[in-house]
Amino acid sequence: MASAAVDDVSLILIVAILALLITFRLQRHWKQPALHQLILTHQAEASQVRSSNESPVYRNVNAPIGLDLAMRPQRSTPDVPGLLLDGLSPSDAALARRVFDAALSNADLLEQASRLAHGLAALLPGESRTLVVHGGVASARAVVALLAGAGFKGFPKVVTAVLPADVPLKELPVEGPVAVLTDSRPSVDALVIPLSTEAAIAHDNTRQWEDVLGAGAPAALPTAEPVRATTLELDEIGQRPFAWFFDKASSAWLITTHTSMTSGVTSILSEYPADLIPAQQDTIAIGGLDPASPIFASIVLTALYTGAGLSHSTSTTQVVRSVRPSIIYTSGDGAEDLAESLHKAAPPSFANALYKRHLYALRHGIIPRNDLADRIVGSEARRTVGADNVRNVAIFGGGCAAGQDLLDKLRVYLAVPVIHAYVPQTAKAGTVPVALTCPISASNVYDFQAFAAIGLGERELAAHVGPPSVSLEMKIVTDTQVAEARASVISRLRADTTSGTQDDTIGEIFVRGYSVASASIDTVTPSSRDFIGSEWIATGDVGLVRTNGTIVVVQESLQKDPGVPRVRARRTRGGRVPLVSLICLFFLAIAGVEASSFERRDVNAVMDSGLLENAIASLLAAQRSSWEQGVAQSALLEALYPKWSVFSAGYGSIYPDRSKIDTNTIPKRVLTMAYHSVAAQDPSGRLCTLLTGDEQLYNGAALDSASCGDAVLLASWIYEGFVDGKPNATSFWGGAVTRQLDYIQTNVSRSNSGAISQRAHLGDVQAWSDTTYMMPPFLAQYGLMTNNRSLLVEAYDQIRLYRNLLSFRNGTEQDLWGHIRAVTNSGLVWYDRRAWLTGNGWAAAGMLKVAATIQHSSFADELQSQRNDLIQWAEAVINAVDKYFDTTASLYHNQVNNASTFLDAAGSSLLAYSAFRLAALDRSKDHTGNAEKVYGKLRDSFDPTGAFVNVETVNELDTGNSAPTSSESLAFLVMLQSARRDYLNGTSSDDTAGSTPVSAGHSLLAHISMTTIVAIFAAIFSLIC
């Protein structure tokens, strides 16, 4: 070591470490528990009397004994129509949000439900008809079908029956004409309606969705009316049948009433404090739950009542990654998968110590969101998985779905409340099969308590599932056949004197209340008058009630072994990391600071895979003009095949010896698009131009087609090889790309200075800012792959000439680019002087692409000055646009310097892409602050159906106005993700620093003092201990 003196670096580190330690200590005292702990000691009330061999009857403390259980959210909502009509104000009911696979408002849903009911009445005459929803209520059409049978005033009578997708339609719960909403051919005589838009069903009596909606006479939509009914009349309204659900466990149809559904919604809402109830800004993701179950329908109705959005997938992790929800309802398996995804995404360094600090806060009733430990452990994991917007998670399972370890992981990584709810797998009232429309119980949203583990061999008791629901009451019965069959488990619990369970009543769980679906209408409690005499429902599950009123399910009815698997280590990544190993890793990291100052990650570690997949799928499905085809090819190449892109890392050629190409690595999807670009080449040589057959040969854009040339050139080299260093002009690929180059060089008008016109009509010389991305990169790519210096210089010169024509040189507009300028016999004429956002993005992106291409050429050293110019000019554009960034909306205006124009997501995406590419090419030019904000905004505004929501995108054919999501805006989003990934991973064309090893003499460790080392040691020790 150099010395034991306290140098400046040591002093700074010591001060920082002391501040860190003080902050950690003070945080324990600054934050207050989310809920007073005394509230958690009394979560249920017990009856004063009990029957022999039974526990007391338990109720939620908010539905005390002596009063009625909860039946509906409001007095004005005795049935499902009341929920929909009174839940939201008329203005809020008109606001569209995601409803699974569509964007609809409550008003839209009611309109379609009305049209569906009247259409079915016209097609299936009679007093009533049955509509079977085959597959559950996990699509917009299924929700409309559910509402069509809800009994709205003025609707013809429709009986809705919900059938799981894997159960064939054989017999129905009621008689009469039948319609089936399905994606498969039914085996019964019925009117068939496709459930999804892409379904093609071979059936003689098939009607399209739109045809059914249009078959009936239009009717006025129902409206909310004042409720002036007595309690008895409200009960009678609620006891009307709502819908049938097929229960696979019992192979029986179960009927729900309006009361069972409104009480189910009430129970779900009661799980939240008043300030956390779902609202219109929320998106609810449902993962792994059965969409054909009554409880799933309750979640759907809860979303409709509150105005929240809805999304569903069989995979919780996938739906979270796709829609970035704020509320999650998941199965136990889905919760496990989500926790594992978060665990893998969390940074490993010192995570065990910080994880335990987080647990310490949770055990004291505090959710330490956004504190130092959370920012290190949780925030990166949430962003990677797509859970950065999540504010609540509810696990719906059989009572043993979650152990304490799983709840801890989710609470630590998500830093949000996690509810553990109990939904029995089977239930019977006597011999009659039943199901529930809400969980029997659910843990308090702020109950972070962890009780001592109760071991049962290789398993231990699951975490408690909270007190009973507000719409149900429960009891434990000890002398049932189920309890006797679990006698060994009960005996072990009674013998454990340390568990505190030896005196508890342990037996089968029974419930009764309003949230019941049954095979018999008589079993469904019709009203508060008949509640006391209603039959108790056996769950088949064994459980106990803790002294604070929370339920613990010991063993589920279908479970072979009690409890959940015993977890021996909190972090499966290897458990506790030894202190010495951490210190060694820390010093190794210090030694490599100069060697690689830029963070390294796996190439896809910072990509939002769900967002990327949806954007690409939508892009490939969209119709594309020539420039959109070209930018789409570039987007896919950069996203999926980054090593083939000019933005790949390093200097020199990026293409391997053609004889050694691994066919598994070639960019096949891009080359497939290139094929279609060639197939649509017009006689003049313009790629991807013959789209409709009506195009005029010498009119329109001259240079848009050049954007398709890069991929065609690549295909020519990969599939055919070059002849004498150039594409084979007589082959399919080589001939097409040669014709494209010849067209640009010989058939397009130029200005006196040499600027190639964007317009195909001879003599019409126009410079468009868009062209900077279309033509110069193609010339540069051709020069790179054919080792042609003159083409590389031509690409640079064309940008220079366009910049001279379009860039503003003074005033507040300095360095912004105008859109279109013509070179006429009388001089220069502005056709569109606006500083169009997308045009400025095109300009910056084109300059950076040519700069990166030059860097990979054999002329990189000779053309270093040109490359530097391009990077400097691109930076000037980005800086000029950045001055007008709207910090509130995190977007730029369509006309950059005119705040009265709309905020454009498309152009903002392209400008942000350019900022990330610039910073990756030259790390001294990092202007990614606003770019990161744009990325966050667009990530949260992109719908899994492949469209932007709640933001506007420019109409590329009428650039002063907005339009629905365009192909180019989708390509920009894909490119933005790729550029951001490369920037965060440190991969760029200017990546020599990362490839040069550092000698020991230049290691930071050689200059660090003894005091600093001691301070670092103390810091590590304090974090771990």
Angle, helices 837-855/789-806, rounded to nearest 10 degrees: 160
Contacts of 344 (CB under 8 A, 6+ apart): none
Domain 609-991 has what CATH class? Answer: mainly alpha
Fold agreement (1-76+232-578, 79-226): yes
Phi-psi category of residue 176: left, alpha or beta, with phi > 0 → left and psi -120 to 50 → alpha: left
Strand bridging mode 507-513 / 537-545:
antiparallel
How far, in Å, CA of 714 to CA of 667, rounded? Answer: 9
> Which of 669, 621, 609 is CA-nearest to residue 967?
621
Q: What pLDDT digit, counting tens, does each position of 729-746 carry?
A: 999 999 999 999 999 999
Tokens of 598: 């830029």
DSSP letters for 663-704: TTTS-HHHHHHHHHHHHT--TTS-TT--SSS---TTSSBSSG
pTM: 0.60
Amino acid at 265: V
* Predicted pLDDT of residue 226: 74
> Which of 543, 419, 435, 565 is CA-nearest to residue 489?
543
Neighbours of 581 (CB within 10 A): 11
- Contact indicator for 995, 987 with CB cutoff of 8 Å: no
- Contact indicator for 14, 1011 with CB cutoff of 8 Å: yes
Give whole-number Cα distances, 617 to 184, 197, 393, 609, 668, in Å: 24, 16, 29, 12, 16
Amino acid at 233: E
* Predicted pLDDT of residue 801: 97
Q: Classify 441 as helix, strand or coil.
A: strand
> Which of 854, 891, 867, 883 is CA-nearest to residue 976?
891
Q: What pLDDT digit, counting tens, does each position of 952-982 carry?
A: 999 988 899 998 888 999 999 999 999 999 9
Q: Which backbone phi and psi does 137 adopt, to 5 degrees?
A: -100, 55
Contacts of 50 (CB under 8 A, 6+ apart): 56, 57, 475
Phi-psi category of residue 274: left, alpha or beta, with phi > 0 → left and psi -120 to 50 → alpha: alpha
The distance of Cα 664 from the centroid of its chain, to the nearest Å, equals: 30
Q: Residue 643 burial (CB < 10 Å; 0-12/13-18/19+)? A: middle
* Predicted pLDDT of residue 185: 65
Amino acid at 720: E
Angle 183-187-189 from CA coordinates, rounded to 5°:
100
How far, in Å, CA of 169 to CA of 163, rounded? Answer: 8
* Predicted pLDDT of residue 383: 87
Report the topology of domain 1-76+232-578. Answer: Rossmann fold (3.40.50)
> Which of 58, 51, 59 is CA-nearest to residue 478?
51
- Contact indicator for 612, 941 with CB cutoff of 8 Å: no
Ranges of the chain whose pLDDT falls below 50:
1-4, 199, 350, 458, 525-526, 528-530, 532-533, 566-605, 693-694, 989-1012, 1015, 1021-1025
- The ranges assigned to domains in the chain are 1-76+232-578, 79-226, 609-991
Amino acid at 145: A
Paired strand residues for 631: none
Q: Classify 635 as helix, strand or coil.
A: helix
* Predicted pLDDT of residue 344: 86
Angle, helices 864-882/905-921, rounded to nearest 10 degrees: 140
Amino acid at 618: S
Q: What pLDDT digit, counting tens, does each position of 1002-1014 carry?
A: 334 434 444 445 5
Contacts of 435 (CB under 8 A, 6+ apart): 245, 247, 254, 293, 294, 295, 427, 516, 517, 518
With b for 16 or more beta-carbon neighbours within 10 A and e for fewer, the 106-136 pattern comes to: bbbbbbbbbbbbbbbbebbeeeebbbbbbbb
Q: Classify 796 as helix, strand or coil.
A: helix
Tokens of 933: 């904000």
Angle, helices 776-786/837-855, rounded to nearest 10 degrees: 10
Rounded to the nearest 10°, the torsion over CA 479, 485, 489, 494 is: 20
Q: Residue 83 burial (CB < 10 Å; 0-12/13-18/19+)? A: buried
How far, in Å, CA of 247 to CA of 161, rounded? Answer: 11
* Predicted pLDDT of residue 7: 62
How far, in Å, CA of 501 to CA of 496, rounded? Answer: 7
How far, in Å, CA of 470 to CA of 361, rounded? Answer: 29
Longest CA–CA span in the chain (Å) reads: 106
Give the N- to C-terminal CA distance of the chain in Å, as an integer. 28
* Predicted pLDDT of residue 981: 92
Instruction: Tell me which of 3.40.50, 1.10.150, 3.20.20, 3.30.310 is the CATH number of domain 79-226.
Output: 3.40.50
